Amino acid sequence: MEKISAEAYQQDPDRYILVSGHQEGAPTCSYGNTQQWVGYDKTEQKYIRFTKSVFKRLVAQKENEIQ
């Protein structure tokens, strides 16, 4: 999977979203377990990885939406 850096994310933040890892077609982790959250590129319509800083920021936003 392609890895998206903070710089790439900042250039077009509306292009990328965080989706549930339980969604049909979502990739599993390298150990075969379901991930709670995975990145998705809406333009290329494929799953992607975020760098740790971007991932943590997006997870915090998702958790704030849920509360």
SS (H, E, C) 3-63: EECHHHHHHCHHHEEEEECCCCCCCECCCCCECCEEEEECCCCEEEEECHHHHHHHHHHHH
10-residue mean pLDDT profile of the chain (67 residues): values are 95 96 90 93 96 95 81
Amino acid of residue 50:
F
Q: Give residue 46's domain range.
A: 3-66
Is residue 66 helix, strand or coil? helix
pLDDT at 43: 97
User: What is the domain count for the chain?
Assistant: 1
Cβ-based neighbour number of residue 54 at 10 Å: 22
pLDDT at 5: 97
